[in-house]
Amino acid sequence: MKVFTKGLVLILVLTMAMMSFAGCSGSEDQEGDEATYPERTIEFIVPYAAGGGTDVMARAVANKITELEGWTTVVTNIEGASASIGSMEAYNRDPDGYTVMVHAIEAMLAYYLGGVYELDLTEECEMLATVVYDPNVVSVGANSEFQSWEDVVEYSKANPSELAWASVGSKSSNEQGSAELWKVADIDVNYIPYDSASKSRTAVLGGHADVLYGQLSEVKALVDSGEMKILAVSAQERVLYDDVPTFAELGYDVVNGLHRGFFMPPETPAEIIEVLESSIFDVCQDASFIDNMENNLGYAVQFVGAEDLVTFTNERRPIQEELWNIIQE
């Protein structure tokens, strides 16, 4: 009995210790004096589950910042509900420079327009920097009857709303990006909103859906091994694969993907944002970071600073509004 109680206490203490690693982010003093920033741990809130693409990117950036600047960083995952739980948590935090939100511009816009988010976070939050451009691609299983984007267009014109177009999420940036492509190509397909990338991928691999619309990073591993084939990439120029044409080259002028990066709670001081922005810029110049992002995650590193992001978002907003109207029709 005695031994047991001791064991129980030991276990309890151990677990509590572990918990405190996960839970503590420090909240002692709030005043962020720019001259000495950062004085304590910078917390990155990832609104997606640990181990996903966004999470791994955030961790890689946080680790590099620690390595290059010597600042302490911690990554917290608050996932769920189309990333709204974590984003709202970050949005409500004190703007003291110690909370950084990880998200993507196009996704925030899409969820706001679709009514999933109550706030336009691209307008409310402060822009920090995006570090990767993850272009949307249309891909198929290696043995698919569709061997080019033209095949897909031809088939869908001959058989309206027959083609099973698998993607992730409803009212998501995926649906809006798809809609943009359909509009330009003047085709009509059957949009199937799976609830995770792993399910939509499995569906296309297993022949339960015809094409997959999603980010390049989601399919890179399967493309490298020859299980899947990318028909076209939605970017300004060819990304990672030299033999995959862009939609523009094929005559469909659509550039659509995710600018994944970092944002801060409203009214975070500009001085702090500058400090962080320049350290993230340095991260993006680091060869091992670029290599890790491109080879293991399939993310093309492309730094966009705070000011450019504001311009980009303002250009992007009306386009997505229009797309949203198309979807609703």
Partner 1 sequence: MDSIQSLAVGFQYLVENPQTILFLIIAVFAGMVFGAIPGLTAALGVTLMLPFTFAMPSQQGLAVLIGIYVGGISGGLISAMLLNIPGSPASIVTTFDGAPMARNGRPGDALALGVFGSLVGGLLSAVALIVISPQLAKVALAFGPWEYFAMGLMGLSVVISICSKDLTKGFMSAIIGLLLATVGIDPVSAAQRFTFGFWQLGAGMDILATLMGLFAITEILTQLRTIHLEYETTQVEKLRFFPRASLVKESKLKTYLIGSALGTFVGILPGVGQSTASLLSYNTARQVSQNPEKFGTGCPEGVVASESANNACCGGALIPMMTMGIPGDVVTAILLGGLIVHGLQPGPLLFANNQDIVGVIFIAYVLSNILMYVMLMSLMRVFIKLLAVPLNFLFPLLLLMCVIGTITVHNRLFDSWILLFVGVIGYILVNCGFSLPPIVLGFVLAPIIESNFRIALITNKGSVASVFDAKIAVGLLIFAVIMIIWPMLMKLIKRAIKKEVVAN
**Closest approach of partner 1 to the CB of residue 236, in Å:** 25
Among the residue ranges 96-104, 129-137, 258-266, 291-299, the one whose residues contact partner 1 (CB under 8 A) = 291-299
Closer CB to partner 1, residue 68 or residue 85? 85
Contact between 63 and partner 1 (CB under 8 A)? yes
Among 68, 78, 250, 255, binds partner 1 (CB under 8 A): 78
4 binds partner 1 (CB under 8 A): yes
Residue selected from 27, 295, 311, 328 as contacting partner 1 according to rule CB under 8 A: 295
Measured in degrees and rounded to the nearest 5, phi and psi for residue 113 equal -65, -35
How buried is 248 (Cβ within 10 angstroms: 0-12 exposed, 13-18 middle, 19+ buried)?
Answer: middle
Binding status of residue 80 toward partner 1 by CB under 8 A? yes
- How far apart are CB 84 and partner 1 at their closest, in Å? 5
**Which residues ranging from 178 to 197 are in contact with partner 1 (CB under 8 A)?**
190-196
**Which C-beta is closer to partner 1: that of 198 or that of 236?**
198
Restricted to residues 90-119, the positions that interact with partner 1 (CB under 8 A) are 114-116, 118
- The tokens for 293 are 């992002």
The answer to whether residue 203 forms part of the interface with partner 1 (CB under 8 A) is: yes
Nearer to partner 1, 193 or 269 (CB): 193
What is the Cα 40 distance to its own chain's centre?
27
Residue 270 interacts with partner 1 (CB under 8 A): yes or no: no
> Which of 8-16, 233-241, 258-266, 267-275 is the region at the interface with partner 1 (rule: CB under 8 A)?
8-16
> Cβ–Cβ contacts within 10 Å for residue 206, how many?
9
The CA distance from 189 to 182, in Å, is 8
Question: Of 92 and 278, which has the nearer Cβ to partner 1?
Answer: 92
CA distance 254 to 232: 11
Residue nearer to partner 1 on the CB measure, 104 or 203: 203
Q: Which long-range contacts (CB under 8 A, 24 or more apart) does 277-283 make?
A: 277/128, 277/129, 277/305, 277/306, 279/65, 279/68, 279/69, 279/71, 280/61, 280/65, 280/128, 280/129, 280/131, 281/129, 281/305, 282/68, 283/61, 283/64, 283/65, 283/68, 283/131
Helix, strand, coil percent content, the chain, rounded in steps of 5: 45, 20, 30
Does position 13 bind partner 1 by CB under 8 A?
A: no
Binds partner 1 by CB under 8 A, chosen from 64, 103, 201, 260: 201
